[in-house]
């Protein structure tokens, strides 16, 4: 296979996984919601994309609707679980992912059941090489990623983000200060699910094939490793984590194809993941990139005031 296509493919995957890790970072990093069922919302996005594209909806509408349908599913799942303690939420969404997988697996009429089904790509240009195809996908994926990143950045550096972080720190205290934690959490859960659904749609149209076995819990944990390594509570950290983990993942595939090794590198990568997560949690539990302050005008105002006071005093 063309090495350049490998590289471009790698870049596309970083983009898609960055969207997923941004979404988990929103839920876990900022709001403290342990979503161990991320894969469920990726699945909803991917299958919505397939169903919608089959009935002839244009791709941009497909992607928007992927996000929307996933958000609705996320919101509905969140309703009974958000009042539970964090560990129960984790178990409920984890099993929700498995249930969804079993449904699409056994209901063959939805999308080919166990056999899976081909998905048409978002943008098809006739007679171009796979390099150009990959470039087009890079454009599409990174456009979506920048929308997600801008949204996450502005939202988390606003009074809303401050409240979300406060609820993560101490939900009782936040509730006592008039913040309706159930509502805030449902919103964040829906928003995170929307991003995951968008990622799922992009994934389906890029791979051009979906089957239930692509949506195993391992995908959820891969995204978790990205967020934990990169730095929960920092959007750039989430993207860095996505880059690192995808590098190991894709790197293992490339090594498998080009090098003759005594062991299978794709098994080796799980060992690397394990070591990576232990090292990070031991020596840098806040992740590679630390959470930053909430940057709003209040901060500028106060730091400005402080400097003027200090000047006056000196």
Partner 1 sequence: MKEPLLRLEEVSKHFGGLYAVNRVNLDINSGGIWGLVGPNGSGKSTLFKTILGLHKADEGSIFFGNRSIANLVPHQIYALGLVNTFQVPRLFHTLSVLDNMMVAGRGHQGDSLINSLFFRKNWQKQEVELADRAMEILELLEIDNLVGSPAGELSGGQRKLLEIGKGLMASPTLLFLDEPAAGVNPKLGRKIFEKIGDLCRKGLCCFIIEHRLELLFDFAHWVYVMDKGQIIIKGTPEEVVKNPSFYQVYLGD
The footprint of partner 1 (CB under 8 A) covers: 151, 154-155, 158-163, 165-166, 169-170, 172-181, 187, 191, 233, 291, 293-294, 296-299, 301-303, 305-306
**Distance between CA atoms of 199 and 188, rounded to whole angstroms?**
17
User: In this structure, are strands 117-118 and 209-210 parallel, antiparallel, or unpaired?
Assistant: antiparallel
Tell the smallest beta-carbon distance from residue 309 to partner 1 (Å): 9
**Distance between CA atoms of 5 and 266, rounded to whole angstroms?**
20
Dihedral sign, CA of 146, 31, 277, 90?
negative
Which tokens go with 161? 């983000």
Nearer to partner 1, 118 or 285 (CB): 285
Nearer to partner 1, 26 or 52 (CB): 26
Nearer to partner 1, 131 or 306 (CB): 306
Which tokens go with 197? 């659904």
Nearer to partner 1, 146 or 266 (CB): 146
DSSP 254-293: HHHHH---SS-HHHHHHHHHHHHHHHHHHH-TT-SSPPPP
Tell the smallest beta-carbon distance from residue 147 to partner 1 (Å): 12
Tell the smallest beta-carbon distance from residue 186 to partner 1 (Å): 10
Nearer to partner 1, 249 or 291 (CB): 291
The answer to whether residues 6 and 254 touch, using CB atoms and an 8 Å cutoff, is yes
Which tokens go with 224? 């978790």
Which tokens go with 268? 């080796």
Tell the smallest beta-carbon distance from residue 20 to partner 1 (Å): 21
């Amino acid at each position: 296979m063309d090495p350049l296509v490998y590289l471009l493919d790698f870049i596309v995957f970083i983009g898609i996984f960055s969207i997923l890790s941004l979404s988990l970072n929103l839920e876990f990093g900022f709001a403290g919601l342990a979503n161990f069922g991320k894969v469920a919302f990726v699945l909803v996005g991917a299958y919505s994309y397939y169903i919608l594209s089959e009935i002839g909806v244009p791709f941009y509408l497909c992607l928007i609707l992927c996000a929307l349908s996933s958000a609705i599913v996320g919101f509905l799942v969140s309703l009974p679980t958000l009042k539970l303690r964090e560990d129960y939420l984790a178990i409920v969404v984890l099993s929700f992912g498995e249930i969804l997988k079993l449904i699409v697996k056994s209901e063959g009429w939805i999308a080919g059941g166990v056999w899976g089904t081909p998905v048409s790509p978002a943008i098809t240009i006739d007679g171009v090489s796979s390099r150009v195809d990959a470039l087009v996908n890079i454009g599409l994926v990174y456009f979506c990623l920048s929308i997600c990143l801008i949204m996450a950045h502005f939202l988390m550096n606003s009074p809303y983000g401050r409240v979300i972080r406060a609820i993560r720190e101490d939900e009782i205290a936040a509730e006592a200060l008039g913040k309706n934690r159930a509502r805030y959490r449902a919103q964040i859960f829906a928003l995170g699910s929307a991003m995951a659904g968008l990622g799922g749609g992009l994934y389906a149209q890029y791979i051009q094939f979906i089957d239930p076995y692509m949506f195993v819990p391992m995908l959820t944990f891969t995204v978790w490793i990205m967020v934990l390594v990169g730095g929960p509570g920092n959007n750039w950290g989430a993207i860095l984590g996505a880059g690192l983990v995808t590098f190991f993942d894709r790197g293992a595939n490339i090594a498998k194809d080009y090098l003759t090794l005594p062991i299978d590198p794709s098994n080796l990568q799980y060992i690397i993941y394990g070591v990576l997560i232990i090292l990070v949690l031991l020596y840098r539990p806040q992740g590679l990139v630390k959470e930053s302050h909430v940057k709003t005008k209040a901060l500028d105002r106060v730091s400005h005031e402080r400097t003027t006071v200090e000047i006056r005093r000196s």
